Amino acid sequence: MKKIMTILIVLLTVSITSCKEAATDGPIKMVTTDEMQQLLELEDIQLVDVRTPEEYTGGHIANSQNIDYNSPTFDSEIEKLDKSKPVIIYCKSGGRSAKCAKKLEDAGFVKIYDLNGGISEWKHKELAIEI
């Protein structure tokens, strides 16, 4: 019985570990505010705010474009982006951008960065916002 339990524990551990590795190999990567700032400085990146136009005009990250995730034209708008260039997406706190990241992945984008905590985290770190 002890051998069976040991084998089951080893199999479970290997299974969990392999799933974790598979999840991080995809084109979507969560980034912190610090990592995002570095990416914006080093790479030619498309920065997309997926909040509503009202939220966007209330304050947004510089050089971002607004493509409202809830808009009926969302799918056609993301098709206008360059799939070969990295994209950073953000929303208010991360919910909409996570859904958007999956849509971008399904659409064939090669590199997708999702800002962890969204613009709320950006503001919390007292980073610059344009109005």
Residue 52 tokens read as 């509503």
Residue 53 tokens read as 């136009």
Residue 21 tokens read as 């590795």
At 56, which helix (H) or strand (E)?
helix 53-57
Please identify which residue in the block is written with the tokens 């997406």: 89
Question: Which one of 36, 50, 87, 91 is the catalytic residue?
Answer: 91
**Helix (H, G, I), strand (E, B), or coil: what is residue 130?**
strand
**19 assigned to active site:** no
The number of helices, as runs of H, and strands, as runs of E, in the chain is 6, 5
- The upper half-sphere exposure of residue 14, i.e. CA atoms within 13 Å in the direction of its Cβ, equals 6
Provide the annotated active-site residues: 91
